Amino acid sequence: MARPLRIQYPDAIYHVTVRGNERREIFRDARDRDSFLELLRQSASIYQVRIFSYVLMENHFHLLLQTPLANLGEFMRHFNITYTGYYNRRHHRAGHLYQGRYRGILVERDAYLSVLSRYIHLNPVRTQSMAAKPLPTRKKRLESYLWGSLPGYLNPRKRAGFVDYGIVLEEYGGDNTRGRRAYARAMEGDLAHGLKIKEQVIAQSLLGTDPFIAWVQETFLKGRRDRECPPLHQIQRYRAQEEILRTLEKETGRTRDEIRADRGSLRQMAMDLLYRIGGMKGTQIGQIMGVHYSTVSQGRKRLQEKIKRDPQLRKMMNRLEKDLVE
């Protein structure tokens, strides 16, 4: 089985998800959930981990946390073993409780910390049974759900002592009445309009802006060759995508949005370079360009016909390829 990409450094922030083995329940009642939260508190204290947000569902849980000591692996190993031991003893069972190892997405703090906090808190209304319910019903469900950190963000009297609420609330005006109300309004907006995060995660491992992805690549992944770690290849390909689009912007003097919106040679050049030099598939290129994958194939064919007739376009493509390959 391919190993997940693990990047650890002091003060790194992660969105951690753990699911039950074969998607089975990992909490049977309130006692299990209370014990889980107490063990989470103890483990966070031992490993000096800061917990920002959490939610417990029937067969999985989410955590948003920071590791000042760069010890996510040690923390999660201890915590998962501890709760598994408790659960197995109480329910007279043996074996694995969780489905493989935890999933930990490295998160850029400034761009995604508060958004991820809200995304985690929305889990109780993201289930199939709740997704189609009217907005008032979903809002009531969210406000009444006890097994998450959201109540503490809205009401200081409902806070868990091990959760750090202030960092997230800074973006909303601070840990005060004004900040809590702003956070509540943001949650209401998410309920009404939805909040998508998965599509923005790179290689199931990173969530951040282009400069953050580039920094991770240069700092932790440069020169690495790991055939058993597919996410590494995906991140490297993402970096190539950025270089291709940036080089095309420089060569043409057009912005990325202008390139995407163009219905002629500009967009066709981007699609062709992403395919041949970036090693990307048509469906992936289509997502980047906002078109169907069949448009990618047709656009590349039309570009080749144009290049045969247009010497200036041919020279431009040659310069682009030279800049990107060398």
What per-residue confidence (pLDDT) applies to 1?
Answer: 41
Average pLDDT, the chain: 89
Checking if the pLDDT of 232 tops 70, the result is no
By DSSP bridging, strand 12-19 and strand 103-107 are antiparallel
Checking if the pLDDT of 227 tops 90, the result is no
Interacting residues of 27 by C-beta distance below 8 A, sequence separation 6+: 33, 36, 56, 58, 147
Checking if the pLDDT of 233 tops 70, the result is no
Model pLDDT for residues 138-195, shown as the tens digit of each residue: 999 998 999 999 999 999 999 999 999 999 999 999 999 999 999 999 999 999 888 8
61 close to 124: Cβ distance less than 8 angstroms: no
Q: How many CB atoms lie within 10 A of CB 293?
A: 15
Confidence band, pLDDT 50/70/90 cuts, at residue 28? very high
What per-residue confidence (pLDDT) applies to 83?
Answer: 96
The number of angstroms, rounded, from the C-alpha of 31 to the middle of its chain's C-alpha atoms is 31
By DSSP bridging, strand 50-56 and strand 60-67 are antiparallel
Q: Which of 77, 42, 12, 16 is nearest to 161 (CA)?
A: 42
Interacting residues of 119 by C-beta distance below 8 A, sequence separation 6+: 190, 195, 197
What per-residue confidence (pLDDT) applies to 6?
Answer: 82
Angle, CA 189 vertex, CA 186 and CA 51 arms, to 5°: 40
| Per-residue CA distances from 169 to 117, 187, 197, 287, 289 (Å) | 10, 13, 20, 33, 35
Phi/psi for 299 (5° steps) reads -65, -40
| Per-residue CA distances from 178 to 37, 154, 155, 182, 267 (Å) | 28, 10, 12, 6, 46
Checking if the pLDDT of 19 tops 90, the result is yes
Q: Which range, of 18-32, 100-114, 280-294, averages the lowest pLDDT?
A: 280-294
| Residue 68 identity | P
By DSSP bridging, strand 103-107 and strand 206-207 are parallel
Q: Which of 67, 44, 58 is nearest to 161 (CA)?
A: 44
Cα separation, 282 vs 87, whole angstroms: 46
Checking if the pLDDT of 110 tops 80, the result is yes
Phi/psi for 67 (5° steps) reads -120, 90
What per-residue confidence (pLDDT) applies to 231?
Answer: 62
Collapsing DSSP to helix, strand or coil, 24 comes out as coil
What per-residue confidence (pLDDT) applies to 224?
Answer: 66
CATH 1.10.1750.10 residue ranges for the chain = 225-325
The pTM assigned to this predicted structure is 0.73
Domain range 12-200, CATH class: alpha beta
CATH 3.30.70.1290 residue ranges for the chain = 12-200
| Residue 88 identity | N
Model pLDDT for residues 260-272, shown as the tens digit of each residue: 999 899 999 999 9
Q: 225-325 in CATH: which number?
A: 1.10.1750.10
